[in-house]
Structure formats: C-alpha cells, structure tokens
Amino acid sequence: DQQVKQNSPSLSVQEGRISILNCDYTNSMFDYFLWYKKYPAEGPTFLISISSIKDKNEDGRFTVFLNKSAKHLSLHIVPSQPGDSAVYFCAAKGGSEKLVFGKGTKLTVNP
C-alpha cells in the first residue's frame, strides 16, 4: 500500500527550462511534505518543505505547490541546471515523526 506515489520514474528537460516533478498521496493524516534530492552513493539532501496550512513555498529556484483537495504536490525548478540532475524524492509525515517516501523521479537536465 503505497501512500506516497511518484508516478514518473524519470524526467528529461533542457537546461534553462522548467522542471516539474509530481507527487500524489493517499493518507489524509499527512500534514507536512518534503522534497529531497539524491545523488548516487550519497544520502538524500533536504531541498524544500511545505506545511499543509500553505499552498505554496518558494526558495530560490525551487517552489513547491500543494493541492490538498487533490492530495497532490509538485516541485518546480526554474531555471533547470545540469547540476540539478539527480533523483528527487517526495516525502510526507503526519501523526508521527516517520517520513513516508515515494519511489523517486530521476531528473536529467541536458546542456
């Protein structure tokens, strides 16, 4: 029973364009959402988060949007850079401290 779903295993975009990574969740108890970036053979690096009381949070080139009614969130990266190429994980928590992760989306930014 996958509570956090990232339905696109991979995404390829051109440098300078927008990258949009999507995430859906099923558990209504989730009230905090995070995005992590992961390079091979390294641990996940925290990128940006959003509380369920907000619908948008922005940090530099990264913006996360939350649509609670649709149980959907997305990460926008503008402009995309080759160094952004990595696997991006969506994670959620609610009612406990444990994070529930999606399976990840591999982003490739082509020069």
CB closer to another protein, 60 vs 111: 60
Residues 52, 26: Cα–Cα separation, whole Å: 14
Residue numbers at the binding site for another protein (CB under 8 A) = 4, 6, 32, 34, 36, 41-46, 49, 51, 89, 91, 93, 96-104
Give the amino acid at 30. Answer: F
CB closer to another protein, 42 vs 69: 42
Please state whether beta strands 105-110 and 10-14 pair in parallel, antiparallel, or not at all (unpaired): parallel
CB closer to another protein, 13 vs 34: 34
Please state the closest distance from residue 17 (CB atom) to another protein, in A: 26
Please state the closest distance from residue 26 (CB atom) to another protein, in A: 15
- Asked whether the beta carbons of 8 and 22 are under 8 A apart, the reply is yes
53 alpha carbon, distance to own chain's centre = 18
